[in-house]
Structure 1
Amino acid sequence: MEKIICMSCQKTIDSDSRFCKYCGARVVSTKKSKINNDKLVSIFQNVCDTLCLNSEYTEQEFEDEFSRFKSYENRDISDNEYYRLLVDIIFYSGFKASTVDKYLDVIHSHFEDYEIVAKYNLDQVEEIKNDKNMIQNKAKIDACIRNAVRIKKIVEKYGSFKKYIDSFKPNSSDECLFKLKKSLEKNFSFIGGTTAYHFMTDIGLNVLKPDRVILRIFYRLGLIDNEEDLFSAVKVGRLFSRATKLPIRYIDIIFVSYGQLNQEKMECICSEKNPKCLKCGVKNYCNYYIGSVL
């Protein structure tokens, strides 16, 4: 028998159940809803309005804070900036952002220049691993060093890291984009399914990173079939971008902010547990909310 996830308690139940045997919530169909431009524009605008309303920002301050994410595409990124993005992704992967934020200056001091890092000897590596002011995760540290060596080889072969990226023509088709994704996963340590998307988002390609926050929100809104469907989430992100005529990185950061805990000036609305549905501007589109009130 097919299994589904209860939208209320997130436990697995039989698909023919009318009520969840764990929490008693009424089971609501979680099949994908029809997607059209008007719906996507409405959802995104209401998410933005809700975020601003439940923050410490004025409307102008909110725009000023997030407008920088509208200019991520077509940026001129140096080889070292590409490396820095890889370093950041490695350390943020699996860790709370608030934890990593406290160590970023130290991390960057050790991994500032890929050419220097690629030449680190064993004593220098051990010094980093024993730095009490550093996140002492040996696997992440080793990955940063291996990636520095790999970037050095790619730059030597292609002339620059950007030329390596451009060689795939990643914005020309989904097929080309995924060829780049596979190459990144093959060549770089700690770059996997989600983190490859993360990197491609941060360098300005037309793709959002389908992390657990994005997947949770899109699933609750009925835009994807399940919270494991990375590819569908990427496609939905592109649909949002086309419908709103806004850059994909801006779409990404708005939805992440909507469901991310422990933000300094904004309230998390669509949290995994105990979401603030009554404050949510898109609750009428949401299977989770509809299931909780039936």
Structure 2
Amino acid sequence: MIKKRCPWCGEDPLYIAYHDKEWGVPVKDDATLFEFLMLETFQAGLSWITVLKKRENFRKAFDGFDYKKIAKYSQSKIDSLLEDAGIIRNKLKVKATVTNAQAFIKVQEEFGSFSDYIWSFVDGAPIKNNLKTMAEAPANTPLSDAISKDLKKRGFKFVGSTVVYAHMQATGMVNDHLVDCFRYNEV
């Protein structure tokens, strides 16, 4: 029997694996939350598959997404990242990643964990939408607007409402699998 999937993942094996194993699965681990936040930052204005194909290059270039190390990056490290053809070499996004790592640590200090902070916006449980078509999936919501505003107030960069909503989808804060997708009831 053929599994029914959300149509956005198409036929690309990398995209299918991401859809089937990661997208929409609730993430409460700070290290993974930072990884997704960082990747979503680099996705701004680009397609997710572009970032997904470079994910392992990002992992290598950014010390395994270790936000504690990234928060301390020097200008020379930033300059070397901007020379790395394996990643998206956007100066503002690279600098934002360092700034976001620093802000991430401050949120941890205030709330105990970034997870406690970000999941408090949904009372600790995923929002389960009932989407029948991809056209019904919003690019942002009043909730992603509020989270974006709060993140920006805390010093985060490249965290507009659309980036935040994509982060919510990726980390399972919201379940936007279509109702006829085999993953809808699994996540």
TM over 0.5: yes
Which of 38, 41, 48 does residue 90 from structure 1 map onto?
A: 41
Which residue pairs with 1:122 in the alignment? 75
Which consecutive unaligned segments of at least 5 residues does structure 2 have? 128-140
The Cα offsets for residues 110-144 of structure 1, whole Å up to 9 and x where unpaired, read as 32200001011122211212234432210111111
Q: 1:65 deviation in Å?
A: 8.2
Which residue pairs with 1:131 in the alignment? 84
Looking at CA atoms only, which structure, 1 or 2, has the larger radius of gyration?
A: 1
Aligned-residue identity in percent: 25
Alignment of 1:92-107 (within 5 A): 92-107=43-58
Which of 6, 13, 30 does residue 79 from structure 1 map onto?
A: 30
Structure 2 counterpart of 1:78, which letter? Answer: D
SS at match of 2:174: coil
The answer to whether the aligner puts 1:110 opposite 2:77 as a matched pair is no
For 2:47 and 2:12, the matched residues in 1 are separated by 22
Give me the TM-score of the superposition, normalised by structure 2.
0.66
C-alpha distance 154-246 of structure 1, shift in aligned 2 (>3 A) = same
Which residue pairs with 1:264 in the alignment? none
Q: Is the contact between residue 85 and residue 199 of structure 1 (CA under 8 Å) also seen in structure 2?
A: yes
Which consecutive unaligned segments of at least 5 residues does structure 1 have? 1-47, 58-62, 209-236, 251-294
Alignment of 1:140-179 (within 5 A): 140-170=93-123, 179=146
C-alpha distance 178-249 of structure 1, shift in aligned 2 (>3 A) = farther
C-alpha distance 123-67 of structure 1, shift in aligned 2 (>3 A) = closer
C-alpha distance 248-69 of structure 1, shift in aligned 2 (>3 A) = farther
Give me the TM-score of the superposition, normalised by structure 1.
0.45
For 1:105 and 1:182, the matched residues in 2 are separated by 30
Q: Is the contact between residue 197 and residue 207 of structure 1 (CA under 8 Å) also seen in structure 2?
A: no
For 1:50 and 1:78, the matched residues in 2 are separated by 25
Q: What is the total number of aligned residue pairs between the two structures?
A: 164
Q: 1:178 deviation in Å?
A: 5.3
Higher relative contact order (CA 8 A, sep 6+): 2
Q: Is the contact between residue 129 and residue 138 of structure 1 (CA under 8 Å) also seen in structure 2?
A: yes
Which of 180, 189, 206 does residue 147 from structure 2 map onto?
A: 180
Q: Is the contact between residue 25 and residue 172 of structure 2 (CA under 8 Å) also seen in structure 1?
A: yes
Structure 2 counterpart of 1:184, which letter? Answer: L
